Structure 1
């Protein structure tokens, strides 16, 4: 059993770290406060070829695995970019997996090369106001109309919709059956820069450089070629992406926790009260020691999950546990960092409050910690399903 990264993986981490740290904490605070998409950062990573790290080589990508993609996002988060940085490219890495695995060759050729070079932005439309975690309750509907479909519905919490030209959308193509609720949903790749699609940004607590949107779809016609895979199999296609998504987000949580902890440790060494550095006090030192212990332990589960996924081994158990553990460890580290800095931790100039806000997000999105525990209760412990 070898827990060491390969030489190539270590080189990847160093290269990403070097590029990401060219963008300062002040850059990210300015983007967050002004709600401006971090275009300079995005273009730098596009020009360096990182956006297509997990997209097959025949479409211009790097053809690497989820582990390498996870290391990329972890380093970005740890640089101080946090969720604002990761969210610029997370969906390119994860969301397009559905097109890679299930899309027609025509769709792959249309989308993947342009996603790799950064010229095409694609968002992912699943969540709805009245459905939430229960995707089987979505009401967005795509009805047959000639040689295509006419789509009507509403989505919410759609990341990067305002910067995207296209959306991977799940919609019902058959009315919901109580006996088989996951049947009858289909995936589509739709254009959203049109009169039939309207957007509204959602004011929110954090990660404001990459905004979230309500999306209103009114009588949008799409050709049959816009459908991804087989009609009615959309929910199954979504499930294909759940484990890699959890693994990627676990590593993002780790990165934010590392960034916060680094700030706290440096402050604890430099800040002097009562003629001694505050880090000499166990009341300060022990919580930070616990934070790094939690992060290191969670990292092992996240690395295990990524390695198993890339090896084609069952990984639902460890992917969900990694998301839970890393979400908790990242937030604990950010919370302890804020406590270490005291009032200065609440001040924007030290940036810890931004890490705190963004680390909190990873305990509720894209799936809550409670829903992860539901999975573990049912599928690991064999307890009765609770929902």
Structure 2
């Protein structure tokens, strides 16, 4: 097993580091304060050829894999963005890119993927519902047949990046549960315009990740054409899992980068801050040990995440690794951000020092895009062979 990065991967990391450095913590603090979408940063990422690293070369991508995508996200997030930048990768190379490149029509691939890679098009995904939450099989949004297409009705919640998106990956039930041979049958995926009659959305005020809006989305008899189906009608569940499990890889990479940034800010502070006998506080083990523990946990999550990404790139099962990596990373990044605040004392509570933003943003990923409890449920049943309780 070789952990050495190739020359190409090293160059990619260097490129991501340089792009990230151009949009450091001060940029993200301003975007957070004004709740502004980081369009300049995303365009720079696209211009550097990083947005479509995992997408096919013939459609404007880099022809690489999820390993390279994870490495890119780590560096960008560690440079100043924190965990929230990973969400833009979820929206575009994952919700848009993975869904289209694996299951979209040739027209979708030809027309949309190059625009995704260049930054001309943005995407979002409408999955979560108020009544279903994590249990996506209980979704109530329906798509009923209407000529050569469908009519979609229902409601979604906590949908990220809707106002900026051109296309929305919609998950809906095309066959009622009562008529399906099993619960996983009867779900379909559609890629539709966000600006469409009957589709409306309202914003949700929230604690963190303020650079990306979250919305409730309402579908009132929204017309979907036949050629907007992604994959196979009624068999969208297994296709959706490919999207969701790669989402875990992106999330973990962002959390690892955010944790690295929090540790760096805490270490820089601890080297300069002196108390009592003019000793830097970084010399005290009470400061050192929690940060060192966080580094170890983040490194473990990183390696497990890269394993998951490598398995995906080689067409092997990767769900256990991607979920476990996300579990460790979300806990570690939250603890490290809080420890960085503690290291700085009162100054850590100020917006000037950046870590309060990292703490607010990282907290989301303890329960999104999947909660710790559901990951543990998955590991208990899939890896330990224990009976299901739900």
User: Do they superpose with TM above 0.5?
Assistant: yes
Q: Does 1:106 align with 2:107?
A: yes
| Range 242-251 or range 36-45, more displaced | 242-251
Counterparts of 2:262 and 2:83, CA distance in 1:
13
Partner of 1:317: 320
Counterparts of 1:316 and 1:85, CA distance in 2:
23
Of 369, 375, 386 in structure 2, the residue corresponding to residue 372 of structure 1 is: 375
Aligned length: 387
| Range 352-361 or range 234-243, more displaced | 234-243
Partner SS for 2:82: helix
Give 1:1-387 correspondences, 5 Å limit: 1-95=1-95, 96-177=97-178, 180-274=182-276, 275-387=278-390
Contact conserved, 1:28 with 1:84, CA < 8 A, in 2?
no
Report the alpha carbon displacement of residue 194 of structure 1 after superposing the two structures with TM. 2.6
- Give the TM-score normalised by the residue count of structure 2: 0.96
Q: Per-residue CA shift, 1:14-46, capped at 9, x if unaligned?
A: 110111111121211111111111111111112
- Give the TM-score normalised by the residue count of structure 1: 0.97
Counterparts of 1:94 and 1:5, CA distance in 2:
23
Q: Per-residue CA shift, 1:173-202, capped at 9, x if unaligned?
A: 111138611111111111111331111111
Unmatched tracts of structure 2, length 5 or more: none
Partner SS for 1:342: helix
Counterparts of 1:137 and 1:297, CA distance in 2:
34
Counterparts of 1:88 and 1:317, CA distance in 2:
24
Counterparts of 2:304 and 2:191, CA distance in 1:
34
Report the alpha carbon displacement of residue 341 of structure 1 after superposing the two structures with TM. 0.7
Counterparts of 2:59 and 2:238, CA distance in 1:
24
Counterparts of 1:84 and 1:287, CA distance in 2:
24
Partner SS for 2:23: coil
Counterparts of 1:88 and 1:381, CA distance in 2:
34
Contact conserved, 1:69 with 1:93, CA < 8 A, in 2?
no
Contact conserved, 2:157 with 2:215, CA < 8 A, in 1?
yes
Q: Per-residue CA shift, 1:297-356, capped at 9, x if unaligned?
A: 222212222222212232222222111111122122112111101111111000000111
Contact conserved, 1:291 with 1:333, CA < 8 A, in 2?
yes
Runs of 4 or more, structure 1, over 6 Å off, are none
Q: Per-residue CA shift, 1:353-378, capped at 9, x if unaligned?
A: 01111111121110011111101100
Counterparts of 2:317 and 2:47, CA distance in 1:
35
Counterparts of 2:202 and 2:244, CA distance in 1:
27
RMSD over equivalenced CA pairs, Å: 1.3
Q: Per-residue CA shift, 1:198-255, capped at 9, x if unaligned?
A: 1111111101111111111111112111111211011111012233221221111100
Partner SS for 1:288: helix
